[in-house]
Amino acid sequence: MSDLALPLKREYFEQIKVGEKWFEYRLCNDYWRKRLDGHGAYDRIILTLGYPRRDDSERRLIRPWRGYTTATIIHPHFGPDPVEVYVIDVRPE
């Protein structure tokens, strides 16, 4: 089984957990291009609150892989200028 692991800050982890946030953003750079464009499809996404121990299920959310798109956004996390991002679908089943 092929998993995409996405460590998150608490704010974003909690928003996804309660269903307020359906998409996770990653910059379109070489690091993420290799993992997304160069990989093919994943089976699932594992969203973690930081970097938890393997047995810490409270800090893990598992979602099905539904793919991604790209977009240009302005977001405080990336600074004041528009940036190109991968928009990864993290909705629950």
Q: pLDDT of the chain along its 93 residues, tens only?
A: 699 999 999 999 999 999 999 999 999 999 999 999 877 789 999 999 999 988 899 999 999 999 999 999 999 989 999 999 999 999 998
Strands 3-8 and 60-64: unpaired
Compute the distance between CA of residue 53 and CA of residue 59 in angstroms, rounded to an integer.
Answer: 9
The pLDDT assigned to 84 comes to 97
The pLDDT assigned to 1 comes to 65
The pLDDT assigned to 37 comes to 83
Distances (CA, A) of 35 to 58, 67, 87: 26, 12, 13
The answer to whether 31 and 89 are in contact (CB under 8 A) is: no
Q: In this structure, what token pair is assigned to residue 64?
A: 């099905």
The pLDDT assigned to 83 comes to 97
The pLDDT assigned to 39 comes to 74
Compute the distance between CA of residue 21 and CA of residue 18 in angstroms, rounded to an integer.
Answer: 8
